[in-house]
A = this chain, B = another copy of it.
Amino acid sequence: MSKILDELLASNKAYADKFGTKRDLQATPIKKFAILTCMDARLDPAKFAGLSEGDAHVIRNAGGRASDDAIRSLLISHKLLGTHEWFVIHHTDCGLEKFSNKDIDEKFNLEPGNSIDWLTFSDNEKSVIEDVLYIKKHPLVPNSILVYGYIYHCKTGKMIEVREATKVGARQI
């Protein structure tokens, strides 16, 4: 058995041994919000945003991008489980800002035309605004949903607002 698997299962056993009243939690998020952020290992949304188990949905992908799959998840989060405030949180030093789609294609020996959209970006603030706008303009997203835009700073742990994104995302309220 791999050392990684060994350690992970030992940690899980310790967690389950002290599970307590968490057994009573329900699927509906207590705080009725969702976070969309990056998979980056340095980010722990529960810690940096103060979440306990049961509080909020957390959606994560490479970049924290508003991909079709993130939209699918957000729509389910709202319509089936009642969230109505969403946070788009990108971060500093993101791999998707350091590489272009072409760079990543080359690493996989993918020819142009036979490629994947890796959702890279060259301007972090703009990428947050773009994602917030894309979410707000999606035909299945109700106007009443508040969408905030933030960048998490990996050197400080601070979430810094992308004002233009939040303005756009929250303008109906």
Contact = CB atoms under 8 A, between A and B. Distances in A.
Contacts of A73: 39, 60-62
A135 to B, nearest CB: 14
A12 to B, nearest CB: 5
Contact of A80 (B8, B26, B104, B116): B104
- Name which of A79, A94, A108, A154 has the most chain B CB atoms within 10 A of its CB: A154
Number of copies: 2
B119 A104 contact: no
Chain A interface: which size bin? 35 or more
A158 B54 contact: no
Given A15-B47, A60-B59, A61-B70, A140 B108 contact: yes
7 contacts: A4-B33, A11-B48, A23-B157, A27-B40, A29-B41, A62-B73, A79-B108
Q: Which 5 A-B pairs have the closest CB atoms?
A: A11-B50, A69-B69, A16-B157, A19-B157, A29-B41
